[in-house]
Amino acid sequence: MKTVIVTPRSLSSGGHPLLERIRSAGYGLVFPAPGVQPTSGQLAAVLGGAVGWLAGVEKIDSGLIAIAKDLKVISRNGTGVDNIDLTAAQAAGIIVRRAEGANARGVAELAFGHILSAARRIPLSAAALRAGMWTREKGFELEGKTLGLVGCGRIGKTVARFALAFGMKVLACDPYPDSSFAPSADFVWADLASVFAAADVLSLHCPPRADGGAIVDAAALDSMKKGAVIVNTARESVVDWQAMRAALDSGKVSWYTVDAFDREPPASFEIPLHPRVIATPHIGGFTDQSIDRATEVAVDNLLASLAECGA
């Protein structure tokens, strides 16, 4: 039987009913690491004979693609494909599909939850009370503050609407700005340097740079307001952690929040254990609604592409 590998952690325990559509189409399902992010070794062990891959955020490099001689389709259950070597996939004739926008609402709501948590110091206050201490740290209100968006696609636009409803001003930078998106006079498209300079809160909704370098590096941090909050629900690598740690320790940045890590769970817990970091375990799209939307689109894409190539 031809097989499809299933690796998203929200699906790989095998219980989502939409996976039955793949079985009903005549494919066997393989779960190399149920409930966790698979290693390269676990993936290599199951790639032989697989024609489809319902993929999560695990790294799919040229070495794995070289092993996957029968693979025809990689269907992501999310938008980002920076974990996939697209050049190697194209050279091997593998179709790569994305579930564009399926988890946008979930990620946007988490990003704004991070913004509120940092602005009102919610995790710090809750942890102090849990430890039996009455510790208060003054926060700030969002009204009149400026939100800077780096990346303003479906997620960024939703975050912008939330911010405008709170009375914030919004500056957004995107390599392909949507001129039709003008939700308020308080929303402005701007260049990256202007976004960094103006932001009281910076929210990142962008892929990593093609060269692997950080977007928020020491120079970017130096250009920002003292006490800014930086929210990262994109990828760990878009921020230079060494520069961020120095900025947190000096007070240049008041709080840094992060939801996605290069390796999950991370090899080191240095970032989430920093006292000025709010870290969550990649839960942006981890809602019933986002999982259902993303899975439906990813399964549709997978089966349609397999049918197109006769696999």
pLDDT band at 311 (very low <50, low <70, confident <90, very high): confident
Q: How far apart are CA 22 and CA 10, in angstroms?
A: 16
- Indicate if the pLDDT at residue 15 is higher than 80: no
pLDDT tens by residue, 218-258: 999 999 999 999 999 999 999 999 999 999 999 999 999 99
Counting residues of the chain whose pLDDT is more than 70, the rounded percentage is 100
What is the structure's pLDDT at 49? 87
pTM of the model: 0.90
pLDDT tens by residue, 3-13: 999 999 989 88
What is the structure's pLDDT at 99? 94
- Indicate if the pLDDT at residue 212 is higher than 90: no
* 54 DSSP β-pair partners: 6, 75
From the number of C-beta atoms within 10 Å of its C-beta (0-12, 13-18, 19+), residue 42 rates as middle
Residues in the chain: 311
Annotated active-site residue in 9, 114, 282, 293: 282
Annotated active-site residue in 235, 236, 276, 293: 235
- Indicate if the pLDDT at residue 52 is higher than 80: yes
Annotated active-site residue in 21, 100, 105, 264: 264
pLDDT tens by residue, 86-111: 999 999 999 999 998 899 999 999 99
Report the SS3 class of residue 168. Answer: coil
pLDDT tens by residue, 158-200: 999 999 999 999 999 999 999 999 999 999 999 999 999 999 9
Q: Is 205 a catalytic residue?
A: no
What is the structure's pLDDT at 152? 98
Q: Which residue has the tokens 């942890």?
A: 127
What is the structure's pLDDT at 34? 94
Q: Which helix (H) or strand (E) holds 258?
A: strand 253-258
